[in-house]
Amino acid sequence: MASTRAQQAERTRNAVLDTARRLFAERGFDGTSLQLIADTMGVQKANVYYYFRTKAAILEALLEGSIAAFDAMLDEAERLDGRARRELLVAGFVEQVVASRALSPLSRIDPGLRREGRIAEALEARSARGLRLMFGDEPTVEQQAAYYMATDVGPVVPRMTHLSDDELRDLLSGLCLRILDV
C-alpha cells in the first residue's frame, strides 16, 4: 500500500509540474498562481501547496534538470577552446531550449523571474560563466551584446511551433553561431 501511495504522490507532483509548465508558457510566471494551477487540475489549492509551498518552488523544480545539464555542459566546455568550445556551448544551449520549448517564453529578464532572487541568481551565474567561456574574462561590448542576443531566444521559440525539433535545433544553432561570430 505504501508504494501505491508513493506512486500516487509522484503522479500528483508530476501533474502539478506539467500543469504549471503549461500555464507558465501560456500566461507567464506572473500570470499563473497556485490557485490557478489547482483550478486547472481540478483539485484544492492545498493539494498543490502540499508539494510546493510557492510558485518559485515549482519553477525551481521545473528548471532543476536543465540547470544540472547546463552545468555539465559548461564543465565540458572548459576542457575545450576556440571554435569547438563555441559550438559545444551553442549546441548545449539550443538543446536545452528545444527540450524545454514550453518554458522558453520565460526570459531571464522576465520581471517575475527577476524577483525570485535565488532563481535569478542561479540563472545569472550560469549566464556569466557561459559568457566568460565564450569570450574570456574581458569580453567587448559587442561580444556581450551578441552573447545576450544569442542566449535569449524566448520570443522566437513560440513563433516557430510549425518547426520540428530538428528544424528548430538547426535554425537556432545556425543563427546563434552567426551572431556569436563577432
Domain ranges of the chain: 1-53, 63-180
Q: How confident is the model at residue 106 (pLDDT cuts 50, 70, 90)?
A: low
Residue 133: per-residue pLDDT: 95
Domain 1-53, what fold? Answer: Arc Repressor Mutant, subunit A (1.10.10)
C-beta separation of 108 from 123 below 8 A = yes
- Burial call 35-71: b when 16+ CB within 10 Å, e when fewer: ebbbebbebeeeebbebbeebbebbbbbbeebbeebe
Cell 486547472 sits on residue:
40
Query: What pLDDT, on a 0 to 100 scale, did the predictor assign at position 111?
Result: 72
Q: For 38-75, how does the pLDDT look when each residue is reduced to its tens digit (9 = 90+)?
A: 999 999 999 999 999 999 999 899 888 888 888 999 99
Return the number of other C-beta atoms located less than 10 Å from residue 30's C-beta: 13
Beta-carbon contacts of 104 under 8 Å, excluding residues fewer than 6 positions away, are: 25, 97, 153, 154, 157, 158
Specify the CATH architecture of the domain 63-180.
Answer: Orthogonal Bundle (1.10)
At residue 29, the pLDDT reads: 86
Helices 34-41 and 2-27, packing angle to 10 deg: 120
Q: Is residue 12 within 8 Å of 51, Cβ to Cβ? A: yes
Geometric angle at alpha carbon 19, from 162 and 26, rounded to 5°: 45
Distance CA 100, CA 98 (A): 5
Residue 3: CB atoms within 10 Å: 7
3-state class of 163 per DSSP?
coil
- pLDDT average, residue stretch 26-35: 89
Place of cell 535545433: 169
What pLDDT does 120 receive? 82
